[in-house]
Amino acid sequence: MLSLVILLLSSGCVILCSQYEQEYVLIDTSMTWNNAQTYCRENHIDLATIRNRDDMTKLAKTPSDGVSSAWIGLKKNGVASWQWSVGETQTSDGLVNYTNWASSPDSSHDCGGMRDDGKWLSAPCGNLNPFVCQEDKGSSKMYVVLEAMSWRQARAHCQLNYGDLVSVMNVIENQAVQQIAGNFPPTFFWIGVFKDEWKCVSQEAHRECENEVKFNR
């Protein structure tokens, strides 16, 4: 049974253990993030990681005696890198290997999309654009959504109805997305590429995680 530890930001918490696949233990100690990580690695396994929305929901519903948030295993690494929203890829952490940028991404842009010619462009995440969803990573089942949304809204829509925003791991997949999107009038579509300087640091790290977990009070 995997035992992960969450270091609470304030005292007065209780220790809660689950009998399911992942066990989370609340520690009644107030520490900095670095000290919390050291404590967890010395006494347990590591700071907790959130693998998916089910894990986050389970933690958010955990009784916590009024404590509102807790450290888990994610921090900024100071280097913003382009990643795939779908998560684990051939690099195991979602980092982008294959790219097809029309020009170097704008340093002020954190999201990306594809033009109708297959080239990628960076753009502000709040821009409203149509987008391409995909059932599973590498799946040939893709869906073009013509309703214009921000990148985050588009991703949420894809996750709710399909799987995620489309990921493009090689030139063949790029051509497939271009062919499907090219059947529609818009000339730019969001895809699942985004820039992030957050890094999961736990040995059990997955892309789906946050720096803090919020508890219901």
Q: Domain containing 11: what range?
A: 2-73+201-214
Whether the per-residue pLDDT at 6 is higher than 60: the answer is: no
Verify that 81 and 34 share a domain, yes or no.
no
Residues 59 and 98 in one domain: no
Could you tell me if 205 and 125 lie in one domain?
no
Q: Same domain for 36 and 89?
A: no
The verdict on 40 and 27 lying in the same domain is yes
Contact 193, 37 (CB under 8 A): no
Most confident of 24-33, 177-186, 198-207: 177-186
Higher pLDDT, 41 or 176: 176
Write down the pLDDT at residue 119.
97
Q: Identify how many contiguous H helices and E strands the chain contains and give both numbers.
A: 4, 11
Q: Is the separation of the CB atoms in 43 and 5 below 8 Å?
A: yes
Q: Identify whether residues 65 and 81 lie together within a single domain.
A: no
Domain identity same for 66 and 84: no
**More reliable by pLDDT, 202 or 166:** 166
Q: What is the pLDDT of residues 35-80, one digit of tens each?
A: 877 777 777 777 776 666 666 676 666 656 666 667 776 665 555 6
For residues 48 and 83, state if they share a domain: no
Count of the separate structural domains present in the chain: 2
- Secondary structure (DSSP) of 140-166: S-EEEEEEEE-HHHHHHHHHHHSSEE-
Which of 91-95, 124-128, 183-187 has the lowest average pLDDT? 91-95
Q: Evaluate if pTM is beyond 0.85.
A: no
Q: Are residues 39 and 108 in the same domain?
A: no
Average pLDDT for residues 116-122, to the nearest whole number? 96
Residues 109 and 131: their CA atoms lie apart, in Å, by 17
Where are the alpha helices (H) located in the chain, listed in sequence order? 33-43, 53-60, 151-161, 171-181
Top pLDDT among 39 and 178 is at 178
**Do residue 57 and residue 81 come from a single domain?**
no
User: 40 with 131, same domain?
Assistant: no
> Encoding tokens for residue 65?
């005696």
What is the per-residue pLDDT across 83-105, written as a single tens digit (0 to 9) for each? 888 764 444 456 678 999 999 99
pLDDT score, position 198: 57
Residue 66 shares a structural domain with residue 172? no
